[in-house]
Structure 1
Amino acid sequence: MSGGKSGAGDTAGGASGVMGAAAGMRIGELARRAGTTVKAVRYYESLGLVTPSRRPNGYRSYDAADLRLVREIRALKRLGIPAERTRPFLDCLTAGRSHAECPASLAGYREAIDELAVRIEELTARKALLVAQLEEAARPLPKENPAMDDHLTLPADLPVPPDDGAADHLPGARMPSLALPDTADGTVRLDGLGLDGLGLGPGRTVIYVYPLTGRPGTDLPEGWNSIPGARGCTVESCGFRDHFEDLREAGAERVYGLSSQDTGYQREVVERLRLPFPMLSDPGFALAGALGLPTFEAAGKRLYKRLTLIVRAGVVEHVFYPVFPPGEHAGRVLEWLRERPLPVA
Structure 2
Amino acid sequence: MKISEVARRAGVTAKTVRYYEALGLIRPARLANGYRDYSEHDARMVAETRALNRLGIPVERTRPFLECLAAGRDQADDCPSSLAGYRDAIEDLTVRIEALTARRAALVRHLRDAAYRNSSAGRPGEKEYTVSDPSRLPVGLPVPEDDGAADHLAGSTVPDLDLPSSAGGTVALRTLGEGRSVVYCYPLTGRPDRDMPDGWDNIPGARGCTAEACDFRDHHDDLIAVGAARVFGLSSQETGYQQEVVGRLRLPFAMLSDTGLRLAATIGLPTFDAGGETLYKRITLIIRDGVIEHVFYPIFPPNEHAEQVLRWLKDNPA
TM-score bin (small chain): 0.5 to 0.7
Deviations 1:296-338 (A, max 9, x none): 0001111000000000011000000000010111000000001
1:177 paired with 2:160, answer yes
Report SS of the residue matched to 2:174.
Answer: helix
Instruction: Name the structure 2 match of 1:341.
Output: 317
Quick one: distance in 2 between partners of 1:141 and 1:255? Answer: 21
Aligned position for 2:273: 297
Question: Displacement of 1:282 after TM fit?
Answer: 0.3
Give the match's secondary structure for 2:248.
Answer: helix
User: Which residue number in structure 1 is paired with residue 215 of structure 2?
Assistant: 239
Alignment of 1:151-170 (within 5 A): 151-170=134-153
User: After superposition, where does 1:109-148 map in structure 2 within 5 Å?
Assistant: 146=130
1:289/1:330 Cα in 2 relative to 1: closer, same or farther (>3 Å)?
A: same
Larger radius of gyration: 2
The C-alpha deviation readout for 1:29-52, integer Å capped at 9, x for no partner, is xxxxxxxxxxxxxxxxxxxxxxxx
Indicate yes or no: 2:192 matched with 1:209: no
Q: Following TM superposition, by how much is the alpha carbon of 1:224 offset from its aligned partner in structure 2, in angstroms?
A: 0.3
Q: Which runs of 5+ in 2 are unaligned?
A: 1-119
Q: Size of the alignment, in residue pairs?
A: 197
Cα deviation, residue 143, structure 1 = 8.1
Task: Select 2:176's aligned residue among 190, 193, 218.
Answer: 193
- The amino acid that maps onto 1:237 is A
> Offset at 1:144?
6.3
Is the contact between residue 194 and residue 311 of structure 1 (CA under 8 Å) also seen in structure 2? no
Considering only aligned residues, what root-mean-square deviation do their CA atoms show, in Å? 2.0
Is the alpha carbon distance of 1:143 and 1:307 closer, same or farther for their aligned partners in structure 2, counting shifts above 3 Å?
closer
1:101 matched to which residue of 2? none
> What is the CA-CA distance between 1:193 and the residue it aligns to?
2.0
Aligned pairs for 1:62-141 (under 5 A) are none
> Partner letter of residue 320 of structure 1?
F
2:259 aligns with one of 268, 278, 283: 283
4+ runs deviating over 6 angstroms: 139-145
1:301, 1:323 → 2: CA distance? 21
Secondary structure of the corresponding residue to residue 308 of structure 2: helix
**AA in 1 matched with 2:221:** E
Per the TM alignment, residue 194 of structure 1 is displaced from its structure 2 partner at its CA by 3.9
Give the secondary-structure state (helix, strand or coil) at the position aligned to 2:183. strand
Deviation at 1:246, TM superposition (A): 0.5
Query: What amino acid is aligned across from residue 160 of structure 1 in structure 2?
Result: V
SS at match of 2:310: helix
**1:51-86 deviation digits (Å, cap 9, x = unpaired):** xxxxxxxxxxxxxxxxxxxxxxxxxxxxxxxxxxxx
Q: Which amino acid aligns with 1:326?
A: P
Q: Percent identity?
A: 63
Distance 2:265 2:202 in 1: 26
- Which residue matches 1:330? 306
CA separation in 2, counterparts of 1:246 and 1:258? 20
Deviation for aligned residue 1:181: 0.5
